[in-house]
Amino acid sequence: MSELKNLVAIKDWFPEFSSDKLLIAGPCSAETENQVLQTAKEISDKTNIAVFRVGIWKPRTRPGSFEGVGEIGLNWLKKVKEQTNLKTAVEVATPEHIKLAVENDVDILWIGARTVSNPFSVQLLADELKNYDIPILIKNSLNPDIELWQGAIERIYSSGIRKIAAIHRGFYPFEKTNLRNIPKWEIPIELKTRFHNLPIIGDPSHIAGDSSLVADIAQKALDINFDGLMIETHINPKEALSDAKQQLTPNELAGLLQNIIFRSSSDLSEQHLDLLRENIDSIDKQMLELLAKRMTTVEKIGEYKKENNIAVFQLRRWEHIIRSRKEFGENMGLSEEFIKKILQLVHKESIAKQNNVMNKK
């Protein structure tokens, strides 16, 4: 295990904090002053949330989409702090955003997935942050590249910031799934093994993409000992200008927090073993997903062979598979016997799939 020296524990970020579990909630975007204040008041009244989050500047894929209210929203956050006991957090993507947020007494800043994907952008933020002492949350990049995520964390750490946490918000899926972003739990687990003192916050809203799935994903994050949650919450999600489907109402948020189980930290060695087991679970699921995709392709090959009157079994192709996979697998540290057994099982199922296609009328 590694560590980022002298990181400040979450409970020591502010005098008001007493727990190492950081709970954050609020709308995807600030839309109106009333929407921001009403949501914040209900979150404050109905839950034990410590930090109110809201997007002021929204990086959108295409122009013409709602890109946030901008600087005026910072005035609304000042009123949130005046009228509730909540700390405030916003996303920053430029040095100017950092200056404006700090000047308007925002308590916590986070760096979004799109920004983390660009090391040049992260370095610009790190250079500006040398002037401040403020907690920084760093989301994973859009694509599942732990080096990008780690690099962004290290750049911010190198700027002198010591109040740092990572946010796991899932990764962009290249094929359609029931989730907005695939969690790939093994990546935050690996990050934790590299930096065991780095807090990791779960963002179940962006993984789910659907409010009905948020609770289960939030529990999963806590079950693998994440250090908190960031949950998108809106006074009226149906009318939200961005990410309407994934936002909870304050009442739904309160229900989630009442029903969720916060696990106590186990002995460090046992905790490490649990993390490694979770890694295996996640890899196994991905392995099965890949095998399912392979079989889908196999069926397409079967259809082509049927249309062109080609035999199912092709000896030269099978010999090529054995030879090339054996060489690749051995380079990955796998034994020849193991590789052969796996390939024989996969090939047997592939032949059966193609035969089924061939025999269809």
Q: What is the pLDDT of residues 236-265, one digit of tens each?
A: 999 999 889 999 999 999 999 999 998 765
Tokens for 10?
Answer: 């979450």
For residues 259, 264, 265 and 266, what is the CA-based torsion angle, rounded to 10 degrees? -120
Helix 72-83 with 33-46: angle, nearest 10 deg: 30
SS3 353: helix
The answer to whether residue 314 scores a pLDDT higher than 70 is yes
**With contact defined as beta carbons under 8 Å apart, do 13 and 219 qualify?**
no
Domains assigned to the chain: 10-265 (3.20.20.70), 269-359 (1.20.59.10)
Please state the φ and ψ torsions of residue 354, each to the nearest 5 degrees: -70, -40
pLDDT digits (tens, 9 = 90+) for 279-290: 788 888 888 888
Helix 268-307 with 336-359: angle, nearest 10 deg: 40
Mean pLDDT for the stretch of residues 152-166: 97
pLDDT digits (tens, 9 = 90+) for 43-92: 999 999 999 999 998 776 667 666 779 999 999 999 999 999 999 999 99
4-18, 262-276, 333-347: least confidently modelled range: 262-276
What is the rounded distance in angstroms from the CA atom of residue 240 to the CA atom of residue 347?
A: 50
CA 357 to chain centre: 39
Determine the pLDDT at residue 266. 52
